[in-house]
Amino acid sequence: MALQLGDIAPNFTAETTEGTVDFYEYLGDGWGVLFSHPKDFTPVCTTELGEVARLKGEFDKRNTKVLGLSVDPVSSHEGWSQDITDATGQKLNFPLIGDPDRKVSDLYGMIHPNANDTLTVRSVFVIGPDKKVKLTITYPASTGRNFAEILRVIDSLQLTSKYSVSTPVNWTDGEDVIIAPAISDDDAKERFPKGFTTVKPYLRYTPQPNR
């Protein structure tokens, strides 16, 4: 059964471009993003890894560790990482798992036999400090991911884990948020001193509380 939201993200140890990694130790008590690639020396994956390297500072700001995976061995990743630098100008600055025996890929359900029975699809798992799965997204091999969207979701997850709010369509950090319908108007006045706007009794906007 595929991992679902709220499931515990299973721990593992794996060989990576930065040595042996114990997943839980690597995450510490922060957030994590585990994402898979179909294969080394492929064009879309090359652009994605360069982009994650470029955004590493943004993940750091969010106390979020990134960990990539491709089913090829680490020895292959080492050759590929030079190509990634040549092609994107970005040096790999986070570990990339080599998973030739598919231990981690199988554990996380990253192989989808109806898409391809040997290659991993483009899976993304966001994991919270409680080691629970907070987001899963699966893309086909032919579509590169939008890592700005992953950052946007992490912003929402981190905010909504602290306040009784949710974030509306296309929300980005700093924009108004929605007060949880379970909060009464009286309670909302206390919890959200910047005030709120009622569009419908169940749709009340308030400025982002931590700004």
Residues marked as catalytic: 45
- CA nearest to 48, candidates 20, 21, 80: 80
Q: Which of 142, 162, 186, 201 binds ligand BEZ (CB under 6 A)?
A: 142
Least distance in angstroms from the C-beta of 60 to ligand BEZ? 26
CA separation for the pair 68, 177 (Å, rounded): 31
45 binds ligand BEZ (CB under 6 A): yes
Q: Which is nearer to ligand BEZ, 102 or 194 (CB)?
A: 102
CA separation for the pair 14, 109 (Å, rounded): 16
Q: Which is nearer to ligand BEZ, 115 or 157 (CB)?
A: 115
Q: Which is nearer to ligand BEZ, 50 or 95 (CB)?
A: 50
Report the DSSP pairing between strands 122-127 and 31-37.
antiparallel
69 binds ligand BEZ (CB under 6 A): no
CA separation for the pair 1, 21 (Å, rounded): 25
141 binds ligand BEZ (CB under 6 A): yes
**What's at 40, amino acid-wise?**
D
CA separation for the pair 46, 68 (Å, rounded): 12
Least distance in angstroms from the C-beta of 139 to ligand BEZ? 11
**What's at 18, amino acid-wise?**
E
What residues line the site for ligand BEZ (CB under 6 A)?
38-39, 42-45, 141-142
